[in-house]
Structure formats: C-alpha cells, structure tokens
Structure 1
Amino acid sequence: MKYQSRTTGSSKRDQILDAAERAILQKGVSATTIEELISEVGVSKNGFFYHFQDKTEMIEAILDRNLEIDKAWFADLISRSQEVYKDPLEQFLAFLELLAEEMSGMPEGHPGCMTTACCYQDRLLNNSVRQVASDILLQWRKISLEQLNRIAANHPASFDVDLEELADMLPALIDGSIIFSRVVVDQSILPRQIRLYRKIIKNTFECAVL
C-alpha cells in the first residue's frame, strides 16, 4: 500500500514496472498494454519479453516488489515508534500516527493500491499473482495482529473484541479510503480514517496515553 515511484537510475526492468504500475493504477489491468509500456520506456518488444514472459508475469513482479517495499516500510515505522515508546499500546498508536502522517504527505493523494487494482480483474491473473496479492494484505494482518496481541497482554480491552478482526480493520479501511478519496477527490479521507482507527484502538484498550 505504500506507493513508491522509482525514476532515474533504475534498470529497464524497473522502468517497465514503474510505467506499468502507474498505468494500472490509472486505468486498470486490461486497459494497460505492452505496446504502450515499451513506447513509454523506450525498449523493443523483444526487450520487454527479455524481462517478462507476459503481462501476468510483469504484474506478479510489481506485486512482489510492493510486498518487499511494504515490509521495509513497516519495519521502519515500527522501529521508529519503538525508539520513542516502551509500552506496546503507545508504540502501536505512534505507528498509526506515523502511518497517517506519511499518507498525508502525498501532495496529490495516494494514487491507489496495486493489490486492489489487480483483485478487481482477478480473472485475468493466475494463482501465483493472486497469492502474492493475498500475501500483501495478509502481511498487514500479521503485523497489526502481532502488535494487538502484545497490547492485549498488557492492557485489558474495554469490551469483548476479536483481535484478528480488529487487525483486519486497518487494511480494510485503508483500501476503502483510497478508493473513496479518489472518487470524491478528498485527499484528507485516508489519513483521517487512519487516525479514527487510532482512536478506536486507544479507546478499546483502557490506558490514557498520548
């Protein structure tokens, strides 16, 4: 879900992936053609097929790259929150605030989620691509659930709550907010929803912090 466009200094392979990601986020998988990508990047058709067997393999490469970007992003945000706070609840609240700040820092708003864009046209994709897309979303669940389990071990919940469902709420509201904000042209929706989730977490576990 982190959007990171690579530009100068990247390989032709990365340039193709960058161009494809931009095009897919703008108009979808089926409307993105190999011809337009090789024209934009300045490679031959043989040059494209040197890097990718077909468009589906290219999409899998984009998602694989996004999975690694997200892993590094999560690790950085969690590390930054843990440097400041010792309590797991305070750390997760700080993580969510950092997340909201980064989403607010995109001048034109979040351009979209590749996972969501691909899932809309999953009939065009093979099982391998669907698995990578699933791994990206399940990574959000894993990280959030790990943090919530640590919180629950130290702070009583104010009501009976399923921690896995609470963990799933974060990627669900982020993907939904990306779509909502683009449709109504309101870039503030995504960071506001993350901060609302932060309030829910804070109120769920009885501890007056931050």
Structure 2
Amino acid sequence: MARVRFDKEKVLESATNAFWHLGYTATSMQTLVELTGLKPGSIYLAFGNKEGLFKESLDYYAQQSLDNLEATLDKYQSAEEALPHILMTFVEESCQSEYCSCFLVKSQLELSEQQTELKDHVSQRLRKVESLYFASFLKNNTENVAKAKAASIMLHIFGVRVYGYHSHSKDQLIDALHLGLPWLSWPINH
C-alpha cells in the first residue's frame, strides 16, 4: 500500500481544533476524517490511533503556546513585568463570546482517572509551561520563591481559564488578579 502524503501541520491544526473545541471523548474518528481530509487508514498509519493523534495535537498546541510565552517573556525585563500583560490577554480571551479555554487546561479537566496515560501526557505539557515560568522567575528570585511564584501563576491561569466561562465582568477578573497577585508589576490603569 502506498503511503499517503499530507501536510502534517495542517492535519495537526485541524485535529487540534476538533479536540480543543469538542473534547477528546466527543471527537469521533469520523469527525477527524472529515476535518483532516485523511482516510481512517491514513490516520491510523500516521498516528497509530485517535489517542496518538490526540497526543500529537497536544504537543503541537503546547509547543506553540511555549513559543508564544517565551517570546512574550523575552520582551520584558522580568517575569513580574511580563505576566500582567499575559494575564490580561487571557482575561480578554475569556470575555469573547466564542470563548474556548486553553486546550491543555480543558483536557486536564476532561480526562478521567481511567485515562491515566493521556492525563499524564497533558500534565507533562503543563509542567513544561510551569518550568518556563519558574526559569523566568529564577532570574530575580531564590529557587524557593521562583517555585512558589510559578505555582501561583499556574493556579491563577487555571482560575482565569475556568472561571472565564462563568464570569460576566472583565473588571471582576482583573480585580481578583490584582488582589491575588500583588507582587506583579501591574500597570496603573487597567
């Protein structure tokens, strides 16, 4: 059987959007076939199965997120200065009418304890994000403080990503972030 040639990045982009918006469980192989344009056999040959495609989609999304995060952190002199801008982006996203939380956060919350391997895969990607925050905080803080600040940021990001579905007030989210993260360099006016 001849191997089908396809643009892997486009396939991953389509699969990522499906898994992200529908969730792992609700994304059927038929949906993946329709969105990627690949036949089921090609998906199985290239990715092994739905789980393999999901993992590669998570990796694709996580790498894009890490690249964007690193680029943003590099624009500022410190993480404490960069993070208000990053968090405000998340708040702005949560206020959109078609809001769909972070793919990693949604997946972590969706996957059951029976899906241990997938849950661990998501957790590893989230730890990479936290490690990037930790490394950034480590430039101006002790190791213990950097670790605590990275954990605090992850808690607040999860909060914004999840609470964003329920909040009807941008100002309420911003006030909560200011109260919970007073050690960040918040701009005077929000």
Scaled by the length of structure 1, the TM-score of the pair is 0.67
Residue 103 of structure 2 is aligned to residue 111 of structure 1: no
Q: 1:99–1:192: structure 2 CA closer, same or farther, 3 Å change rule?
A: farther
Residue deviations 1:153-208, cap 9 Å, x none? Answer: 5xxxxxxx8542332111122122212112345566666655555533459xxxxx
Post-superposition shift, 1:108? 4.4
The residue number in structure 2 matching 1:121 is 111
Equivalent pair of 1:24/1:32 in contact (CA under 8 Å)? yes
Residue 75 of structure 2 is aligned to residue 80 of structure 1: yes
Residue 127 of structure 2 is aligned to residue 144 of structure 1: no
Consecutive unaligned residues of structure 2, counting only runs of 5 or more, are 1-5
Give RMSD over aligned pairs. Answer: 3.2
Q: 1:111–1:177: structure 2 CA closer, same or farther, 3 Å change rule?
A: same
Give the Cα–Cα distance (whole angstroms) in 2 for the partners of residues 60 and 98 of structure 1: 29
The residue number in structure 2 matching 1:102 is 89
Letter in 2 for 1:103: F
Residue 79 of structure 2 is aligned to residue 92 of structure 1: yes
Equivalent pair of 2:19/2:54 in contact (CA under 8 Å)? no
Give the Cα–Cα distance (whole angstroms) in 2 for the partners of residues 56 and 124 of structure 1: 14
The residue number in structure 1 matching 2:65 is 70
Letter in 2 for 1:99: I
Letter in 1 for 2:69: F
The residue number in structure 2 matching 1:181 is 164
Give the Cα–Cα distance (whole angstroms) in 2 for the partners of residues 16 and 191 of structure 1: 37
Consecutive unaligned residues of structure 1, counting only runs of 5 or more, are 1-10, 83-90, 154-160, 204-208
Give the Cα–Cα distance (whole angstroms) in 2 for the partners of residues 12 and 96 of structure 1: 35
The residue number in structure 1 matching 2:53 is 58
Residue deviations 1:6-33, cap 9 Å, x none? Answer: xxxxx54334433333333333211110
Letter in 2 for 1:49: Y
Residue deviations 1:55-110, cap 9 Å, x none? Answer: 1111110121123212212221121113xxxxxxxx22321133134335545465
Equivalent pair of 1:108/1:187 in contact (CA under 8 Å)? no
Q: 1:202–1:109: structure 2 CA closer, same or farther, 3 Å change rule?
A: farther
Q: 1:148–1:75: structure 2 CA closer, same or farther, 3 Å change rule?
A: closer
Scaled by the length of structure 2, the TM-score of the pair is 0.73
